Amino acid sequence: MKKSLSKLFVIFLTLSTLYVAPVLANIDTDIIQEIIQFKLQEQKSAVGVSIAIIENGDVEYLSFGVADQDSKKKVTPETLFEIGSISKTFTSMALASMVTEGKVKLSDPVQKFLPAEVKMPARGDKEITLLLLANHMSGLPRLPSNMPFGDPADPYADYTVELMYDFLNSYTLPRDIDEQLEYSNLAVGLLGHILSLIDNKSYEQVINDRVLKPLGMSHSFVDVPGLHLGLLSNGHDASLKQVKHWQLPTLAGAGAIKSNIQDMAQYLKVNLEPNMDFIQLTHKQTTGFDNNGAKVSLAWFTTEHEDGSYLWHNGGTGGFRAFMGFDQVNNKGIVILENTTNGMDSLGNAYLQNTLAQLKSDIFDIKMLDEEKLVRLKGEYELFPGLTMTVTHQKQQLFIQVTGQAKLPVIAKSELVFVQTAAGAKITFELNDKGETLFLTLDQGGRKTKALKLDPNKPQEPVNKVTLTQTELDNLVGIYELSPNFAITISNENGQVIIQATAQPKIPFETKSRSEFSNAMIQARIVFELDAAGKAISLTLFQSGQELKGLKK
């Protein structure tokens, strides 16, 4: 999703068992262990984590938590995780293998390898090349606009090659090729598909033959074979609820690989000390030479800091997060695999930037409250008509849940102040003289919203000031495309108009009239254009000074 659109809707965003390999004297992992243990035991923001650290050729493995909450199966160095978009670096390495072999050139146009009936988008006298798919400079969007999303919990599963070809045939590039970096799952997924056409093999076979086998990685897979399924961890969302494994039959090159920490340590090692031409090629900078944009190699990104620089990539699927980074000058690197979506990029970056002590200080600036201090805070708080924040607790952990969104843990900064780091939100409670909670104030995105605690014994006023008939509501239901990769879905749930933007949670809107709806919390208004029969033709979204129109599909 384009950055300008992704911010339109505000999203709030087991006792562990520790396995530690013999500790290397030259690697101080105490802080890392403290942070992970805290996330598992106190924050309840992780289920299972596997880490590999390499420094000066020495490897250390750290495994925490469980791979399966039901069986309590421990995470070990053999546990398999989905590595998400780190798969893109494997795809680019396979491309580099073909280049060094002389089979293709980075400058080859993609059109050269597609079937005759497929027309690759072009602009002016420029064509999209293999390089531009790998370094996100092709001009293709993050995702194609014709994804069916038949199962939101497994969004790529029903996207076919035929649908991808249809999209390419109909897509018009919004800007010149090689003009601007736009991170694209479609581009690298297409690259994986092109490589399979060139080698006349499946994507999995290409990766096996060109990357995994040459690097000695025997426990990494696109499709996990039956004999190894028992090692595959379950994934979890931000509230630690188990979710589906993702399937990527067409866009596998963008994020389909599963691996364990031992194989990923091997991958880290060969990238730290590359002795093969095709690995070295993936590290060569291809963008950002004028220092005005991101520095990208073949999939790898570069971060510069006070003490140097390092190459990195992260990844995420519906229930997993991963991070890998390496500093060749200082001969150190780290891989973090996690079976929840909360992510630990900050830990990986802190290790590579030598700021672990500062990260620990930031994380541990919290308080653990007695349960009786949390009991007085629980309840429902009305942010706006139709939008409430429900506050609950489990033992010493407080949770918040906004209408239509996931339940998230919050960290106590004091008895009345809590933060949700991922959502960038702070919640402050106010008490009366009797110690009873009256209000909370939500501070997020530069806006402060005060919410009154609702009396559970007092009947609430109807959410909608205007009531529409079933027919009037049905006339609005549908999908409205605001851009090629951003749409708004309108649904009717028990007489309440629900708005859902692409890849974001459902949000209730208050009815102002037959064609106008609003949500004060996110300061958004939607106005429908109706035909003579009262059926919606289009909608216009007004938010943050923007006015975006979308036609009904």
Task: List all residues 6 or more positions away from 261 whose beta carbon is below 8 Å from its beta carbon.
Answer: 50, 51, 52, 61, 63, 77, 79, 81, 335, 337
The helix/strand/coil state of 327 is strand
337 pLDDT exceeds 50? Answer: yes
- Write out pLDDT tens, residues 135-190: 999 999 999 999 998 998 999 999 999 999 999 999 999 999 999 999 999 999 99
Rounded distance between C-alpha atoms, residue 436 and residue 450, angstroms: 16
Residue 449 lies in a domain: yes
Q: How many whole angstroms separate alpha carbon 426 and alpha carbon 416?
A: 11
Name the pLDDT band for 28 (thresholds 50, 70, 90). low
545 against 133, higher pLDDT? 133
**CATH number of the domain encompassing residue 30:** 3.40.710.10
Pair 394, 501 in one domain = no
How far is residue 272 from each of residues 2, 56, 356, 487, measured CA to CA in Å? 33, 10, 21, 42
> Do residues 207 and 93 share a domain?
yes
Give the integer Cα–Cα distance in Å for 166 and 470.
Answer: 36
**Alpha carbon distance 136, 181 (integer Å):** 6
- The model's pLDDT over 245-278, given as tens digits with 9 standing for 90+, comes to 999 999 999 999 999 999 999 999 999 999 999 9
Q: Are residues 310 and 440 in the same domain?
A: no
What's the rounded Cα separation, in Å, for the pair 486 and 503? 9
CA distance 497 to 492: 5
Give the bridge partners for 63, in sequence order.
19, 50
- Domain boundary (328, 362, 396) is at 362
Domain membership of residue 465 (yes or no) is no
In the structure encoding, which two tokens stand for residue 366, read together? 């919290």
Asked whether residue 291 falls in the same domain as residue 431, the answer is: no
Q: Residue for token digits 């859902």? A: 500
Q: Quick one: pLDDT at residue 1?
A: 31
The per-residue pLDDT for 6 is 33
Q: What is the helix (H) or strand (E) element at residue 99, kind and residue range?
A: helix 87-101
> What is the pLDDT at residue 467?
84
- Asked if residue 418 and residue 333 are part of one domain, the reply reads no
Question: Over 50: is that where the pLDDT of 3 sits?
Answer: no
Q: Are 509 and 517 in contact (CB under 8 A)?
A: yes
Between 208 and 455, where is the model more confident?
208
Q: What is the pLDDT of residue 317?
A: 95
Rounded Cα–Cα distance for residues 282 and 80 (Å): 25
In a domain, 50, yes or no: yes
Contact 339, 233 (CB under 8 A): yes
- Report yes or no on whether pTM surpasses 0.85: no
Mean pLDDT of all residues belonging to the chain: 88
Q: Which residue, among 545, 464, 446, has the nearest Cα to 508 in the 3D structure?
A: 464
Q: In which element (H, E) is residue 164 found? A: helix 161-170
- Where in the sequence is the domain holding 259, given as residue range(s)? 3-362
> In the chain, pLDDT over 90 holds for what percent of residues?
65
Is residue 368 pLDDT above 90, yes or no?
no
Q: What is the DSSP string of 521-547?
A: TTTEEEEEEE-TTS-EEEEEEEETTEE
Give me the residues paired with residue 19 across strands: 63
Fill in the amino acid letter for 548: L
Q: How far is CA 470 from CA 474, 476, 491, 512, in A?
A: 6, 10, 12, 16
Give a yes or no: residue 460 inside a domain. no
Residue with tokens 């506050």: 391
Q: How confident is the model at residue 21 (pLDDT cuts 50, 70, 90)?
A: very low
Helices (H), 211-298: 213-215, 261-272, 277-282
The answer to whether residue 266 sits within a structural domain is: yes
**Helices 345-352/30-38 angle, 10° precision:** 170
Which of 13-22, 299-308, 538-547 comes out lowest in average pLDDT?
Answer: 13-22
* 437 and 522 share one domain: no
Does any domain span residue 203? yes
Q: Model confidence over 422-441: pLDDT tens digits? A: 667 889 999 998 899 999 99
Is a pLDDT exceeding 60 seen at residue 416? yes
- The predicted-structure confidence for 504-519, as pLDDT tens digits, reads as follows 777 888 888 889 988 7
- Exposed, middle or buried by CB within 10 Å (0-12, 13-18, 19+), for 212? buried
Lowest-confidence pick of 20-24, 48-52, 315-319, 352-356: 20-24
Spatial CA neighbour of 231 closest among 71, 451, 342, 67: 67
In this prediction, residues 388-409 reach a mean pLDDT of: 84
Query: Which of these three, 307, 331, 362, is where a domain ends?
Result: 362
pLDDT bin (cut points 50, 70, 90) of residue 10 is: very low
The reply to whether 404 and 474 lie within a common domain is no
- Both 135 and 232 in one domain: the answer is yes
Place 197 in a pLDDT band, splitting at 50, 70 and 90: very high
Query: Which phi and psi (to 5°) does residue 480 adopt?
Result: -120, 120
Please report which residue ranges of 102-202 form alpha helices under DSSP H: 130-134, 161-170, 185-199
Tell me how crowded residue 363 is: count the other CB atoms within 10 A of its CB.
Answer: 20
Note whether 38 and 133 are same-domain residues.
Answer: yes
Mean pLDDT of 191-210: 98
Q: For residue 501, what is the domain's CATH number?
A: 2.40.128.50
What's residue 521's pLDDT?
Answer: 60
Residue 346 main-chain phi, psi, to 5 deg: -60, -35
**Cα angle vertex 264, ends 263, 270, to 5°?**
95
Cβ-contact 437, 376 below 8 angstroms: yes
56 vs 73: CA distance, rounded Å: 32
CB 455 within 8 A of CB 439: no
Distance CA 86, CA 255 (A): 7
For residues 44 and 163, which has the higher predicted lDDT (pLDDT)?
163
Domain stops at, among 362, 388, 413: 362
Question: Looking at this protein, which amino acid is placed at residue 277?
Answer: D
Range 99-115 average pLDDT = 98
One domain for residues 390 and 356: no
The answer to whether residue 459 sits within a structural domain is no
Proportion of the chain above pLDDT 70, given as a percent = 90
* Same domain flag for 424 and 527: no
Mean pLDDT in residue range 444-462? 77
Alpha helices (runs of H) in 304-440, residue ranges in sequence order: 345-352, 356-363, 371-375
Q: Is residue 7 scored above 50 in pLDDT?
A: no
Helix 356-363 and helix 345-352, axial crossing angle in degrees, nearest 10: 140
Burial of 457 (0-12, 13-18, 19+ CB in 10 A): exposed
Looking at the fold, whether 304 and 212 belong to one and the same domain comes out as: yes
Any idea which of 106-120, 346-360, 411-425 has the lowest mean pLDDT?
411-425
**Domain count of the fold of the chain:** 3
For residue 464, is it within any domain?
A: no
